[in-house]
A and B are shown apart, each in its own frame.
Chain A
Amino acid sequence: MAPGSKIDDSEITATNNLFSDVVTLTSPPLPTLPVDVILEILCRLPAKLLLQLRSVCKWWNFLISDSKFIKKHLRMSTTRRLHFLRYLSRPQNKYILTSYPLDSVFTNLNTDLTEFEYSPNNFKGDYPRTTFEHFIGSCNGILCFADHYKGLVILWNPSIRKFKDLPLFTKPDVCIDFHMTFGFGYDSSTDQYKVVVVLDYLVPVSTTIWVLETEVKVHILGTNIWRSIPTYPFGGVPVPSALSGKYVSGTMNWLVSKDPLGWGKPCYILSFDLVNESYQMILPHIDGEDMCDLWSIGVLRDCLCVTSGNDVWIMEEYGNKESWTKLFTVPYMRVRDNSHVLITPIYMFDDDQVILKFNSDNDLDLALYDSKSDTLKLTDFHPIDYQTIPEVCIESLISP
């Protein structure tokens, strides 16, 4: 409750005297609302309306653009949407970003969509070759995706429709089998958004011998550079099938495999602390045994989550290895050709229902798991880009 919002007594006494002889008593004219009271209402409004309300007057234009208000709005924000990304290669060379209300997974309606196209400025004739693009992640209302061919990272806030292309980083010279894996998150100690990239590649040490090298670079949003930092000391490479680094509780997390080609099963989680830029190795295990059949990594209700076979585990308290808890086991899903079904957790609702993505044979299906009844059902929600992995993103006014 805003302090100091009490109206000045003398003002009211004077007004009361004016009205004291009037037979039908009504409230005196309202004084102008105190600013903190106005902000209590404004911070609950949707972003689209707030952008319009910047035209109310100069003072409101300032208030709504102020970073303190924007943070307050984020704290109050509860609107989330389901976002999809796809890339159209030649001749269009553009990204298509589509979003739906989160409850589309229940209503199966794919008509309430918002679509946006984007051609990054930095393409400059050198376009991504692959059409398989995906979101790196989202944080505080900002979505992050990248062209994994050039290493062009793009930030996008769909609520205010603002894009930002990040500067490119330098790639190693002579190498083969070059991969990059990104992560996007927020450092609350410095109020900065950071993108981290892990590069892995093979370099020749002789005509027949190649060794694995890894590099880690950090970019702070608002600066021009990627800063190289010491790489992680545990060995191995991030696994591409697990996709990007996942942000949770001020850390970035990747699934890493000890196999230098990255095809082996991931066997540990590389944790990178965004605040003090240090590494930690996290091993999910239960009953003293390490889980080594990790398939994907994600975040559910702000907890790190991994899938091992058909089991979905979360780390209830980040960093505490005793806090690994099995959330549920996905009921057996019959697939066409017995190939393994990769399960990726997407989002968990307040009522404990979970949106999962099933990936088998390039076919994506979204499913809803209800923990209360232990049932899984495939949704009939099939937007045009259902082949890609969606990202759930909250509404905010933060400029990328």
Chain B
Amino acid sequence: MAQEASSSTSSKTISLKTGDGEIFEIEASAAKQMKTVQRLIDDLGDDITIPLHNVFSKELPKIIEYYKKDITGEITKDFEAEFVKDLNDDEVKVLFLAANYLDANKLFEFLSQNIADRLESKSVEYVRKYFGVENDFTPEEESKLREERAWSFRGIKEDE
């Protein structure tokens, strides 16, 4: 299908279908900020519902909310703080992966920083669980590594 000229009005909306079958509307100018969505629009046209296999109905509204604010230039530090305030570490991670899948750069960078801030005072064990990484060091190897950097292990918060 031929793509509309890039001077499409901001009132034009695109339909997005999540991996769990729900449909959400988003303004074309907001969709432009998510490169994956824009690529799909370029391939499939903007009149059909764009399927997003890897994003679900729990995350997509939040992402749409972010970009709604972005296109009106209203994203402030206060808004971003409020945006993640009630999300726990796992919810932020899911949102972060969705932003990655959608190639939504601004949200991706904001969430990278937010996750980094959350991890700042956490322990090695917590980080392993968070990223789903298995420890393949032997107990001897691990204690040797910790000894070499003993000073860096002082002053960590207990795991939540």
A residues with CB within 8 A of B:
1-2, 5-7, 9, 12-13, 16, 19, 25-28, 30, 32-34, 37-38, 40-42, 44-46, 48-49, 51-61, 161
Q: Which residue of B lies closest to A28 (CB)?
A: B19
Contacts A54-B145, A58-B137 given; does A44 touch B53 at CB 8 Å: no
A5 touches B133 (CB 8 A): no
A51 touches B128 (CB 8 A): no
B18 CB, nearest partner CB in chain A, Å = 9
Task: Name the A residues within 8 Å of B101 (CB-CB).
Answer: 5-7
- Near A by CB (< 8 A), chain B positions 61-96 give 93-94, 96
CA separation between A54 and B147, bound complex, in Å? 12
A99 CB, nearest partner CB in chain B, Å = 14
What 0/1 pattern do residues 40 to 78 of B give for CB contact below 8 A with A?
000000000000011011110000000000000000000
CA separation between A19 and B20, bound complex, in Å? 9
7 contacts between A and B (CB under 8 A): A1-B103, A7-B54, A25-B21, A45-B120, A52-B149, A56-B133, A57-B137
Which of A9, A40, A49 touches B112 (beta carbons < 8 Å)? A40
Task: Name the A residues within 8 Å of B116 (CB-CB).
Answer: 41-42, 44-45
Task: Name the A residues within 8 Å of B100 (CB-CB).
Answer: 1-2, 5, 34, 37
Q: Which of B56, B94, B133, B153 has most A Cβ within 10 Å?
A: B133
CA separation between A46 and B153, bound complex, in Å? 13
Q: Does B158 contact A (CB under 8 A)?
A: no
B149 touches A46 (CB 8 A): no
B139 CB, nearest partner CB in chain A, Å = 11
A1 touches B137 (CB 8 A): no
Interface residues on B, range: 35 or more
Q: Which residue of B lies closest to A50 (CB)?
A: B152
B131 touches A38 (CB 8 A): yes
- Near A by CB (< 8 A), chain B positions 91-116 give 93-94, 96-97, 100-101, 103, 105, 108-109, 112-113, 115-116
Q: Which of A7, A32, A52 has most B Cβ within 10 Å?
A: A52
A1 touches B149 (CB 8 A): no
Task: Name the A residues within 8 Å of B57 (CB-CB).
Answer: 25
B135 touches A56 (CB 8 A): yes
Q: Which residue of B lies closest to A25 (CB)?
A: B20
Task: Name the B residues within 8 Å of A48 (CB-CB).
Answer: 152
Q: Does B142 contact A (CB under 8 A)?
A: yes
A27 touches B145 (CB 8 A): no
Q: Which residue of A lies closest to B57 (CB)?
A: A25
Task: Name the A residues within 8 Å of B54 (CB-CB).
Answer: 6-7, 12
Task: Name the B residues within 8 Å of A33 (CB-CB).
Answer: 97, 131-132
CA separation between A60 and B112, bound complex, in Å? 18
A52 touches B94 (CB 8 A): no
CA separation between A107 and B57, bound complex, in Å? 47
Task: Name the A residues within 8 Å of B133 (CB-CB).
Answer: 56-57, 59-60
B136 touches A58 (CB 8 A): yes
A52 touches B132 (CB 8 A): no
Task: Name the B residues within 8 Å of A60 (CB-CB).
Answer: 133
Q: Which residue of A lies closest to B149 (CB)?
A: A51
B147 CB, nearest partner CB in chain A, Å = 11
CA separation between A64 and B37, bound complex, in Å? 33
A2 CB, nearest partner CB in chain B, Å = 7
Contacts A13-B53, A16-B19, A44-B113 given; does A52 touch B153 at CB 8 Å: yes
Which of A30, A40, A55 touches B146 (beta carbons < 8 Å)? A55
Task: Name the A residues within 8 Å of B135 (CB-CB).
Answer: 56-57
Task: Name the B residues within 8 Å of A27 (CB-CB).
Answer: 19-20, 56, 58-59, 94
A226 CB, nearest partner CB in chain B, Å = 31
- Near A by CB (< 8 A), chain B positions 140-160 give 142, 145-146, 149, 151-153, 156
Which of B105, B108, B128 touches A57 (beta carbons < 8 Å)? B128
CA separation between A161 and B154, bound complex, in Å? 14
A57 touches B136 (CB 8 A): yes
Q: Nearest 9 CB-CB pairs, A to B? A: A44-B116, A25-B20, A51-B152, A40-B112, A12-B53, A27-B56, A51-B149, A48-B152, A55-B145
CA separation between A318 and B16, bound complex, in Å? 52
Task: Name the B residues within 8 Å of A1 (CB-CB).
Answer: 35, 100, 103, 105, 108
CA separation between A51 and B19, bound complex, in Å? 38
Task: Name the B residues within 8 Å of A26 (CB-CB).
Answer: 56, 58
CA separation between A32 and B120, bound complex, in Å? 21
Contacts A25-B20, A25-B57, A55-B137 given; does A46 touch B120 at CB 8 Å: yes
CA separation between A58 and B145, bound complex, in Å? 11
A27 CB, nearest partner CB in chain B, Å = 5
